[in-house]
């Protein structure tokens, strides 16, 4: 019937629309339930990797964890930026996102031992995920050839980089475990350099990526995901340890380390737009990797901390893991803050905060060196984070009042 044919044509036109071309930015868009569900799948991948580090706190374990989390973060960046820039509320976008989520669920299965026994399976699964993502970015390039040809050089290089990464990950599956991890680490560094170069390109990030509240919210959501690992680490540590007053008290103090990260990130960075120029955008994006990595590492360290709650001194590996995580997180936040528009508008507030964060990083390393009792180590790290936040409060008050931005409240 004519009416049913018309309805079918309308459905097909809605269900399988082409991606939004570059420049078609929706300034007032909100993060969709589909994007939130997509982000939650990464919880499984990060949790599996964190579980392995919690069970084997060592230099090798930290290195493996850092590399696995970094390549996972790269997968999230590519998927998230595609949805932010080119996704639509249609069937095509939903279908591809669900395909990606299915692959990520398989990836989580192999993430726990990706540094050793399941590294080959992790590499192949990751390559499949990137192959799907590469196709999505290639469809954007085809769209740009029609509507925004000035973006073709940049999108061309990006698609080539994606394809090369697929090939590298596939080839790494056939390498020895230590060599494989080294290849992944080089790949992460290569992507960091690529994003930095795109931030300095004539069009690049500055022309193709407009800072929006939804973009800021996506990065905030991922930060919440890794903060959840701190809660998870404390719960696992308390569940496996003795249920006495000392262990539980140590766990509650350790949990406050995660709260300290939350206060600093969402008061100083979360809900605040980065600058529009490409260099600042690249720095803003890249600085979120060590922030996420440090928080996730702290979560993994909580298990070992609570397992030794009755020790007179914290084991060296655990002390360095937690104190190093706080130090790296504070230093990375300095880079993130410098990329914000508020860094210039509220310079009188942010400059003292940067000094306090740098000093806090040094003190945190000193705490790890002295290796106090687990409860005291956690308490001292909480004090470091709390003092940095106190400097922030003072700075904002002197700058004209402690104003809570509407975006930050959300």
pLDDT-derived band of residue 401, with 50, 70 and 90 as boundaries? very low
pLDDT of residue 311: 93
Domain ranges of the chain: 32-208, 213-409
Decide: 123 and 174 in contact? Cβ < 8 Å.
no
pLDDT of residue 155: 79
Decide: 282 and 191 in contact? Cβ < 8 Å.
no
Provide mean pLDDT across the span 294-309. Answer: 93
pLDDT in tens, 382-398: 999 999 999 998 888 87
258: Cβ contacts below 8 Å, ≥ 6 apart = 227, 230, 231, 234, 295, 298, 299
**Is the pLDDT higher at 337 or at 18?**
337
Taking the C-alpha atoms of residue 175 and residue 172, their distance in angstroms, rounded to an integer, is 5
340 forms beta bridges with 274
Q: Mean pLDDT of all residues in the chain?
A: 88
Decide: 201 and 154 in contact? Cβ < 8 Å.
yes
pLDDT of residue 366: 96
pLDDT in tens, 25-34: 777 788 888 8
pLDDT of residue 400: 64
Give percent of the chain with pLDDT exceeding 70.
93
Nearest to 87 by CA among 266, 214, 172: 214
98: Cβ contacts below 8 Å, ≥ 6 apart = none
pLDDT in tens, 47-99: 998 888 888 888 888 999 999 999 999 999 999 988 888 888 888 889 999 99
Among the residue ranges 9-18, 238-247, 301-310, 335-344, the one predicted with the least confidence is 9-18
Q: How is residue 150 annotated by DSSP?
A: G
Provide mean pLDDT across the span 341-352. Answer: 87
Taking the C-alpha atoms of residue 408 and residue 385, their distance in angstroms, rounded to an integer, is 19
pLDDT in tens, 133-149: 999 988 888 887 777 77
Q: Is the pTM of this model over 0.75?
A: yes
Q: What angle do CA 305, 307, 312 make, to 5 degrees?
A: 70
**Is the pLDDT higher at 7 or at 54?**
54
Give percent of the chain with pLDDT exceeding 90.
59
């Amino acid at each position: 019937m004519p009416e049913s044919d018309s309805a079918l044509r309308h459905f097909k036109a809605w269900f399988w629309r082409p991606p939004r071309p570059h420049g078609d930015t929706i300034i007032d868009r909100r993060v969709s339930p589909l994007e939130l569900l997509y982000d939650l799948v990464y919880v499984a991948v990060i949790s599996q990797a964190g579980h392995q580090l919690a069970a084997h706190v060592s230099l090798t374990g930290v290195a493996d964890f850092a590399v696995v989390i970094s390549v996972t973060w790269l997968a999230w960046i590519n998927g998230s930026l595609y949805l932010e820039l080119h996704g639509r509320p249609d069937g095509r976008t939903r279908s591809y996102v669900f395909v990606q989520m299915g692959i990520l669920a398989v990836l989580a299965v192999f993430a726990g031992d990706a540094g050793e026994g399941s590294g080959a399976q992790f590499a192949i699964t990751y390559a499949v995920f990137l192959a799907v993502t590469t196709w999505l970015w290639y469809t954007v390039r085809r769209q740009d050839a029609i509507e925004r040809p000035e973006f073709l050089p940049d999108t061309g290089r990006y698609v080539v980089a994606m394809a090369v990464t697929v090939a590298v990950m596939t080839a790494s599956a056939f390498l020895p475990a230590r060599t494989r991890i080294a290849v992944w680490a080089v790949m992460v560094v290569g992507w960091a350099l690529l994003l930095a170069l795109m931030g300095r390109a004539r069009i690049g990030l500055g022309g193709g990526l407009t800072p929006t509240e939804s973009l800021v919210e996506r990065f905030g959501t991922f930060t919440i995901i890794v903060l959840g690992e701190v809660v998870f680490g404390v719960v696992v540590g308390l569940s496996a340890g003795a249920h006495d007053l000392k262990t539980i008290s140590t766990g509650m103090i350790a949990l406050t380390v995660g709260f300290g990260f939350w206060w600093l990130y969402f008061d100083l960075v979360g809900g605040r737009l980065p600058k529009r120029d490409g260099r600042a955008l690249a720095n803003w994006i890249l600085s979120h990797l060590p922030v996420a990595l440090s928080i996730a590492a702290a979560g993994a360290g909580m298990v070992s901390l609570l397992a030794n709650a009755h020790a007179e001194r914290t084991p060296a590996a655990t002390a360095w893991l937690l104190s190093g995580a706080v130090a790296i997180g504070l230093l990375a936040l300095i880079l993130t803050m410098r990329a914000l528009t508020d860094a210039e508008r509220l310079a009188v507030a942010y400059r003292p905060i940067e000094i306090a964060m740098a000093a806090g990083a040094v003190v945190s390393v000193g705490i790890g060196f002295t290796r106090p009792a687990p409860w005291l180590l956690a308490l001292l790290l909480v004090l470091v984070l709390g003092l940095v936040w106190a400097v922030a409060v003072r700075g904002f008050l002197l700058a004209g009042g402690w104003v809570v931005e509407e975006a930050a409240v959300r």
